[in-house]
């Protein structure tokens, strides 16, 4: 989505960006997939929003925080007129560096259940941290030479708070092996979809039989099979490239997505969408 490009460039340059108490999104972004480029933290203050995260529908309610990871797919379905939220975007590099500053964080838990319910006191504390983040990122590097270190230290505090706040929820979910397997499968597809689109490849890494993986994914994902999930994810990546203002040839996109021959990509895309990649680009170019 072109309107997000300046924000993404800012996040990559600074390491993090915070928008506090935004009143809704542009309505025209609803219904479109967006593959996340950064760690995205949402904090809902008021109203609600229906979203698809990795093709699973969930609803954001007041006093809920969610952490969504790079490479995964979010789509806003709709949001209420009174929807108010704060958002923090953290670059991949900052997130990796953060791992060395925290003690107990397990990112996988946010894949299984990305939402964290907060009580009023917890909400106040998290909101206060957001104010601190905002104050730091709005300073230039020249004004605040230790800005990155300050952000990392405050992020470490924030993640440890969230881990503490989630402890009761995590106890409820600890025995859900099916969801844990699905979360690991999704992570692997995000990391390796350019290397393989075969279910057997992912089953081998997960050390389960392909039949078992298929059965579990179908149960968790409303009947959708791992093969269907992989195909839909690859097509979402292809569509984002075809819509991108960074114009790449169809041949370049084919190789970028891991196809050995452009013709294989053309057939794959036509089979999945019912139109050619060229037709899709013509209809859905840069928005």
**Of 120, 144, 173, which closes a domain?**
173
Structural domain including 147 reads 2-173
| CATH number of the domain enclosing 268 | 1.10.10.60
Instruction: Using pLDDT thresholds of 50, 70 and 90, give the confidence band for residue 99.
Output: confident
* Sign of the torsion formed by the C-alpha atoms of 118, 35, 75 and 29: positive
Task: State the total domains in the chain.
Answer: 2
* Best CA proximity match to 238, nearest among 226, 225, 256, 224: 256
Angle of helix 226-243 relative to helix 210-220, nearest 10 degrees, comes to 70
Would the pLDDT of 165 be above 70?
yes
pLDDT for residue 277 is more than 50: yes
116 pairs with which residues across the strands? 65
Examine the domain organization and report whether 279 and 157 are in the same domain.
no
Burial class (CB in 10 A: 0-12, 13-18, 19+), 282: exposed
My answer on whether 163 and 268 are in the same domain is: no
Q: Which of 224, 191, 188, 192 is nearest to 206 (CA)?
A: 188
Shared domain check, 207 and 147: no
Residue 73 sits in the same domain as residue 192: no
Mean of the pLDDT values across residues 42-49?
A: 92
Q: How confident is the model at residue 116 (pLDDT cuts 50, 70, 90)?
A: confident
Question: Is the per-residue pLDDT at 55 higher than 70?
Answer: yes
Domain endpoint, select from 173, 202, 222: 173
Q: Does an H or E element contain 149, and which?
A: helix 147-165
5-9, 29-33, 101-105: the lowest-pLDDT one:
101-105
Average pLDDT, the chain: 86
23 and 139 fall within a common domain: yes
- Tell me the C-alpha to C-alpha distance, in Å, between residue 55 and each of 18, 73, 152, 273: 26, 7, 31, 16
Same domain, yes or no, for 219 and 91?
Answer: no
Q: Pick the residue with more confidence: 265 or 33?
A: 265
User: pLDDT band for position 208 (50/70/90)?
Assistant: very high
Range scoring the smallest mean pLDDT among 101-110, 159-168, 242-251: 101-110
> Which of the listed residues 148, 173, 198 is the one where a domain comes to its end?
173
Q: How far apart are the first and last CA of the chain?
A: 6
Confidence of residue 283 (pLDDT cuts 50, 70, 90): confident
Determine the pLDDT at residue 112.
66
Both 216 and 132 in one domain: the answer is no
Residue 108, pLDDT > 80, answer no
Q: Are residues 12 and 133 in the same domain?
A: yes
- CA–CA dist 257, 263 (Å, integer): 13
Q: Are residues 143 and 277 in the same domain?
A: no
- Give 21's DSSP letter: E
CATH number of the domain at 31, please. 2.60.120.280
Q: Is the pTM of this model over 0.85?
A: no
What was the pLDDT predicted at 10? 83
- 58 and 97: one domain? yes
Give dist(CA 99, CA 287) in Å, integer.
36
Please indicate, yes or no, whether residues 112 and 185 belong to a single structural domain of this protein: no
Report the pLDDT averaged over residues 15-39.
83
Q: Mean pLDDT throughout 11-38?
A: 83
Tokens, residue 163: 């881990």
| 9 and 56 part of one domain | yes
The pLDDT confidence band at residue 120, using thresholds 50, 70 and 90, is very high
């Amino acid at each position: 989505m072109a309107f997000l490009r300046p924000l993404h460039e800012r996040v990559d340059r600074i390491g993090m960006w915070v928008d506090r108490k935004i009143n809704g999104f542009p309505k025209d972004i609803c219904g479109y997939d967006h593959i996340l480029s950064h760690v995205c933290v949402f904090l809902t203050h008021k109203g609600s929003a229906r979203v698809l995260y990795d093709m699973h529908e969930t609803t954001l309610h007041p006093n809920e925080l969610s952490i969504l990871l790079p490479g995964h797919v979010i789509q806003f379905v709709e949001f209420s007129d009174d929807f108010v939220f704060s958002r923090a975007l953290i670059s991949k590099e900052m997130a990796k560096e953060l791992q060395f500053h925290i003690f107990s964080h397990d990112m996988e838990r946010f894949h299984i259940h990305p939402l964290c319910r907060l009580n009023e006191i917890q909400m106040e504390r998290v909101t206060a941290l957001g104010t601190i983040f905002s104050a730091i990122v709005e300073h230039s590097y020249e004004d605040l030479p230790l800005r990155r270190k300050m952000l990392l230290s405050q992020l470490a505090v924030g993640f440890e708070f969230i881990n503490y706040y989630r402890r009761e929820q995590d106890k409820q979910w600890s025995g859900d092996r099916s969801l844990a397997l699905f979360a690991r499968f999704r992570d692997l597809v995000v990391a390796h979809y350019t290397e393989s689109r075969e279910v057997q490849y992912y089953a081998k890494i997960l050390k389960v039989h392909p039949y078992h993986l298929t059965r579990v994914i179908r149960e968790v994902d409303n009947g959708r099979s791992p093969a269907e999930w992989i195909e839909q994810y690859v097509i979402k990546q292809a569509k984002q490239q075809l819509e991108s203002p960074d114009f790449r040839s169809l041949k370049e996109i084919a190789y970028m997505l891991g196809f050995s021959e452009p013709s294989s990509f053309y057939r794959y895309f036509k089979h999945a969408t019912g139109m050619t990649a060229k037709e899709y680009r013509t209809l859905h170019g840069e928005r």
